[in-house]
Amino acid sequence: MNAVTPLHQDAPATGTRLRALQDWVDEVAALTRPDAIHWCDGSQSEYAALLAGMQADGTLLPLNPSTHPGCWLHRSDPDDVARVEHLTFVCTRERDDAGPNNHWLAPAEAHAKIDALFEGCMRGRTMYVVPYCMGPVDSPFARCGVEITDSPYVAANMRIMTRMGAAALARIEREGLQAGGAGADPTFVKGLHSLGELDPGRRFIMHFPEELSIKSYGSGYGGNALLGKKCHALRIASWQARQEGWLAEHMLIVGVENPRGETHYIAAAFPSACGKTNLAMLIPPEGYREAGWKVWTVGDDIAWMHPGEDGRLWAINPEAGFFGVAPGTSAKSNPNALATIARDTIFTNVAVTDDNQPWWEGLDDRVPALDWRGRRYDPANGPAAHPNARFTVSAKQCPSYSPRAEDPRGVPISAIVFGGRRATLVPLVFEARDWTHGVLVGAAMASETTAAAAGQVGVVRRDPMAMKPFCGYHFGDYFAHWLSFDRSGARLPRVFHVNWFRKDADGKFLWPGFGENLRVLEWIIGRVEGRAGAIETPIGRVPNVRDLDFSGACVSAAAMEALFAVDSDGWQREYEEIGGFFDSLGDRVPPELRMR
């Protein structure tokens, strides 16, 4: 058996008193044969040692300390830059439980296939044991996990993205011992990850929801390797949520405070790279700021929502950091994000300027010196930064970070918003008629694909609730679970759909977006409060142009008319396509959705 070796001299070697965890770590070590084992404690000294080790081996490159103190650049293998949905599996005993929305393997076959890859894969490497908590450590809604990885980059990023270390381990041990005496039965999610050879032909991301476990091999990309994120917080958690009566969703959480000091919290689902972070960190237009409007960031990617005793849905952000898309982030699109990532940030696959500052398309007019692969920049080679280049940073650095973000009770949700990237057909905003119609609106959502996933960009595909890559079970059962919240005593959020991306005949965006999106949120809040008007249409309630405040917005009368137009013939075709999509999911789709 390999020795447990501290990462740095002052760190104590450790293990755990929880038998289920210790036995699993021993089993993994016997399979993967690491040269050393390090139990992560989450300390600043440990983080500094991880960074120093990666700097020494070239995994991390320091950026300009004058302009970006504490910032680093990581360059991925060129074949490892996005999620790999075609290699991502949900492994349930019954194939129908995973559903046609997931790739499926029988658990025994999946374990055998991936364990053969793990055999001896950590020789010459350190195995990091990373205990983490998704959500505030003292929240009853938080859930814990342990990731075992041979990547110091993953360990460092997990410290940023989760509550990682000693406090998480203490909760895992406490819950495990309470549940099983000596802790024989695991109550935490087990995640095993190895970089392997970074060979696309030897790459799998496998989920075993019935076992609360994840195995990922052959990728260092965040969505495939930071197992607390999409793998745990969505795929496994969505399965847990259905069993336990809550929702694990691909949603930002934003608080909008009006001039009277009242704050409404909105949960919004958009596919990756469709503006979640920009909306979560929105800065109100000048007139709104002067009037006293404020926006508070609770989370930019994932929401866990639980029914409260008052009948409302209450949400926590299970993450502690942002894993945001860099390209397109600018002083115009998201000044709060720029301020957040000005220090103590890990950048992945961005370009650099001649004075070693991070750079990406859309940031400014400078010409970079080196592209994301480290080559001298040449436009003939494509974009300087990879289109899915990322930043990892603590959420607490955000200027609009909400004081409620660490509230163990969460925040009450007034409205749920669905949205996608649609150049045509879908209005700027409309409201569902009731909860069942709202579930249909979310279930039928479609969006143009982006660079966040491997494959062709710009293809319109159905992405229910922005969960197509992330739902850990059959979509039909998932829709039924959503419908089940409409029960006696429930005070459910109103449901809306937005589309910031509608274009005119010349291919130009009709809506300016960014901070101007607050005008739409104001109407949504007005609808929640019963103050704002709307027009009944076949697709739901659409604002009359006079229902939104356009003062100071650069939107022409023609654009306003187009933004709220409802094309009956086009929607008839859309409904036929939705029906075909539901047909593809089989007979588990709730009949209530087909009747709407």
More confident residue, 548 or 458: 548
For residue 496, what pLDDT band results from cuts at 50, 70 and 90? very high
Annotated binding site for Mn(2+): 230, 250, 301
Residues 6+ positions from 312 with CB-CB distance below 8 Å? 412, 413, 491, 492, 493
Average pLDDT, the chain: 94
pLDDT of 272 reads 78
Cβ atoms 354, 80 nearer than 8 A: no
Topology annotation, domain 249-297+405-594: Phosphoenolpyruvate Carboxykinase; domain 3 (3.90.228)
Q: How far is CA 482 from CA 46, 98, 313, in A?
A: 42, 17, 12
Q: Is the pLDDT of residue 4 over 90?
A: no
Q: Is 349 helix (H, G, I), strand (E, B) or coil?
A: coil
pTM: 0.95
Instruction: Give residue-wise pLDDT tens across range 170-227.
Output: 999 999 998 875 544 568 999 999 999 999 999 999 999 999 999 999 999 999 999 9
Bridge-based pairing state of the strands 88-90 and 204-208: parallel
Instruction: Give residue-wise pLDDT tens across range 283-307.
Output: 999 999 999 999 999 999 999 999 9
pLDDT of 394 reads 98
In whole angstroms, what is the distance from residue 409 CA to residue 395 CA?
18
Annotated binding site: 83, 221-223, 230, 250, 272-278, 301, 388-390, 421, 514-517
- Give the pair of three-digit tokens for residue 504: 């005119």
pLDDT of 185 reads 56
**Which residue has 């909400």 as its token pair?**
402
Annotated binding site for GTP: 273-278, 390, 421, 514-517
**Which residue has 């120093």 as its token pair?**
52
pLDDT of 551 reads 87
The CA dihedral of 481, 485, 488, 491, to the nearest 10 degrees, is -170
**In which residue ranges of the chain is CATH 3.90.228.20 found?**
249-297+405-594
Instruction: Give residue-wise pLDDT tens across range 57-103.
Output: 999 999 999 999 999 999 999 999 998 999 999 999 999 999 999 99
Q: Transcribe 260-305 into DSSP letters.
A: TS-EEEEEEE--TTSSHHHHHT----HHHHHHT-EEEEEESS-EEE
* Residue closest to 15 by CA, chosen among 32, 40, 36, 44: 40
In whole angstroms, what is the distance from residue 160 CA to residue 107 CA?
31
**Which residue has 């009956």 as its token pair?**
568
- Give the pair of three-digit tokens for residue 116: 């053969």
- Give the pair of three-digit tokens for residue 137: 């450590």
Cβ atoms 383, 367 nearer than 8 A: no
- Give the active site residues: 274
Instruction: Give all strands (DSSP E) within 370-410, no chain letters.
Output: 390-394
Cβ atoms 102, 134 nearer than 8 A: no
The CA-CA-CA angle for residues 465, 468, 471, to 5°, reads 85
Check: CATH 3.40.449.10 for 19-39+82-244? yes
**N-to-C CA span, the chain:** 61
In whole angstroms, what is the distance from residue 91 CA to residue 494 CA?
34
> In 122-209, where does DSSP find H-type helix?
152-161, 166-180
Instruction: Give residue-wise pLDDT tens across range 237-278.
Output: 999 999 999 999 999 999 999 999 999 999 999 987 788 999
**In which residue ranges of the chain is CATH 3.40.449.10 found?**
19-39+82-244
Lowest mean pLDDT among 25-34, 307-316, 508-517, 546-555: 546-555
In whole angstroms, what is the distance from residue 564 CA to residue 224 CA?
39
Cβ atoms 495, 488 nearer than 8 A: no
Residues 6+ positions from 105 with CB-CB distance below 8 Å? 89, 91, 113, 206
Annotated binding site for substrate: 83, 221-223, 272, 388-390
The burial class, CB within 10 Å (0-12 / 13-18 / 19+), for 439 is buried
